[in-house]
Structure 1
Amino acid sequence: MTAKLCQLLPQKKAILVSLCISVLLMLAKFAAYFMTHSNAILTDAAESIVNVLASGFAFYSIYLATLPKDENHPYGHGKVEFFSAFVEGVLIALAGLIIVFKSGYDLLFPKQITQLFEGATIIGATGLINLLVGFYLINTGKKHRSITLEADGKHLMTDAITSAGLVVGIVLIQLTKIYWLDSVISILLGLYIIFNGYKLTRRSVGGLMDESNVELVKDIVCILQENRHDAWIDVHNLRAQQYGADLHIDCHITLPYYLDLVKVHQEISDIDKLINGKAEHKTELFIHADPCLPECCNYCNMKECHVRSEDFNKEIAWTVDNATKNKKHFQ
């Protein structure tokens, strides 16, 4: 438990930095809006409210993820990170919808815009800061397998992109004096924000629904194939899920039926050590041992097998396609 808490300290530090910076940038953007009365700048300022709310909720979810496993949560509390990302995605999409409707109204009933150069300077500075913080959060999230940090980082990267587009738009308005472009730019940025909110929500729903981690499955199958033992006749029904920073894999492995319990335990322990020694992340494995059947003999490479009913023909290479199916390879 102490090791896990130490591991999660960087996540807490990263999200706290994000929260503090989000508050400061939100105040700066609203100051820019009150200077200019620009809808496009209001778009960026409104999204900053979402940044603050999302970072606050993310900080709480990371705190929950540090709690140890208990009777009610045998897999730990890491799944709250998917819920955090879901909430952030919904908030982002909601902010985008509000921006589109507000900008559409102001396109029909425009208002005077002032001090665009000063506003563009403030927005450009906040965009650069969000870009740097976003990179920091994404890198920390990938290093510590935190979907919450990755989600918050990608959100800030989105904010930085919209800020860059906003600055370009403001310069264009200043040069052309076509002020209705302000609302058009705001609507386009709002649609972009909605799209990013959808993508984030889609990923979080997949995690909440225990969607299999395809990349992790590929890594595991590759490791098993490259280091397979003769006694490992086949691997099937292999699944992998992520719960916050914790990874869980369960699978069935077919072994010779005459192995005693000690030998079966040894083979399964070898798989556990292999995965945790060669995979990029520490993983909790749940392995079910199946006894071999006569139909397995033609692809079983077990040497000096005294119960073989058919000569060995050829090894069946394990792939994501056959290892994830819930059946032995001869079926």
Structure 2
Amino acid sequence: MTVKKKAIVISLAVSILLMLAKFVAFFITGSNAILTDAAESIVNVIAGSFAFYSIYLSTQPRDENHPYGHGKVEFFSAFVEGILILIAGVIIIFKSSYNLIYPHVVGKLLEGTLIIGVTGLVNMVVGLYLIKVGKKEHSVTLQADGAHLLTDTYTSAGIVVGLILIQVTNIIWLDSLISILVGFYIVYTGYKLTRGSVGGLMDESDFTLVEEVVEVLQNNRHNPWIDVHNLRTQQYGPEFHIDCHVTLPYYFDLNQVHREISQIDELINKSGVRKAELFIHADPCLPKCCHYCHMSKCPVRAEAFKKEIVWTPEIVIKNKKHFENELL
């Protein structure tokens, strides 16, 4: 079993046990706030089941119908999880609003508080574990599931504080008010997960990856690499794809061009940057490139070297050679 599959199985098993514990707490107390936490646990179980399937699918090898692999399903999994959280939050807000107007008696709050407190601590440990594994394995699904469990931890903490206040003040309507506040927080969390997953499905560029790539290229640039531009990134589950254009001396033959491009690929994948598949397009230099070109023995130089252009993410993502950026 892979590390990712092991992590999501642990998450699913823990979610089921904690859901049962929270419903026990609800049945012995009748607390709306505890019901809120229990209802969110149902979402945890459903989302965990879907996440398990998406992890399984994302690890399948590429085939004729999926030349980039199956990794995009992880973004879809995070999207579904976000939608489920949103729905759960809205339902919680409506139900708690009703009970705020028509309050009901709650009891045995001490026992319920202890159960919710323990489940919150367990969720925190598992959530942090999932996020750690997700970042290491570059799994959007595991990070989303971990963030969801941490959200559950925060809501449990808020509910524990609220239940203690109810026991101290004996103000019953605080139960529904706390539940409503927690519901809004759950909706906000669902929105963030949904927004992030939609960005992945729409191939939003990973700016952090762009920064890592540019830093490696700038710190290890070779003289023939006159400029790098039109750099784009995409993520397919744990796999990353990088497209860019590299300006090389126009008199290089095909073997020299291939060697320089291969060196860039090797540099990116062996310098601490996340493993990626690169598609590099070679552009020929123009006379206007001479004033920032480092080729000291260039046989066709039209102008003396003046100043190096430091590569930054803002420069390399533009689809134009650097002399067109009017940086000098």
TM-score range, shorter chain: over 0.9
Corresponding residue number in structure 2 for 1:299: 292
Within the candidate set 51, 69, 92, 2:62 is matched to: 69
Aligned residue for 1:275, secondary structure, equals: helix
Q: Distance in 1 between matches of 2:165 and 2:212?
A: 49
User: 8 Å contact 2:166–2:172 — kept in the other structure?
Assistant: yes
TM normalised by structure 2 equals: 0.98
* Pairing 1:113-128 to 2, within 5 Å after superposition: 113-128=106-121
Aligned residue for 2:60, secondary structure, equals: coil
Corresponding residue number in structure 2 for 1:320: 313
User: 8 Å contact 2:287–2:301 — kept in the other structure?
Assistant: yes
Give the stretch that moved more between structures: 185-194 or 108-117: 108-117
Aligned residue for 1:90, secondary structure, equals: helix
Within the candidate set 83, 95, 100, 2:76 is matched to: 83
Corresponding residue number in structure 2 for 1:199: 192
Q: Distance in 2 between matches of 1:237 and 1:280?
A: 19
Q: Distance in 2 between matches of 1:263 and 1:117?
A: 75
Tell me which amino acid in the other structure corresponds to 1:237.
Answer: N
User: 8 Å contact 2:232–2:244 — kept in the other structure?
Assistant: yes
Tell me which amino acid in the other structure corresponds to 1:289.
Answer: A
Q: Gaps spanning 5+ residues in structure 2: where?
A: none
* Pairing 1:211-290 to 2, within 5 Å after superposition: 211-290=204-283
* Pairing 1:66-215 to 2, within 5 Å after superposition: 66-215=59-208
Q: Distance in 1 between matches of 2:119 and 2:308?
A: 59
User: 8 Å contact 1:89–1:197 — kept in the other structure?
Assistant: yes
- Count of aligned pairs: 324
Q: Distance in 1 between matches of 2:125 and 2:304?
A: 62
Deviation at 1:236, TM superposition (A): 0.2
TM normalised by structure 1 equals: 0.97
Q: Distance in 1 between matches of 2:20 and 2:307?
A: 68
User: 8 Å contact 1:220–1:279 — kept in the other structure?
Assistant: no
Deviation at 1:114, TM superposition (A): 1.0
Q: Distance in 2 between matches of 1:84 and 1:146?
A: 11
Q: Distance in 2 between matches of 1:277 and 1:181?
A: 56
Q: Gaps spanning 5+ residues in structure 1: where?
A: 1-5
Identity %: 67
Aligned residue for 1:249, secondary structure, equals: strand
Q: Distance in 1 between matches of 2:172 and 2:273?
A: 53
Q: Which runs of 4+ in 1 moved over 4 A?
A: none
Q: Distance in 2 between matches of 1:227 and 1:80?
A: 35
Tell me which amino acid in the other structure corresponds to 2:28.
Answer: M
Corresponding residue number in structure 2 for 1:3: none
Q: Distance in 2 between matches of 1:102 and 1:74?
A: 47
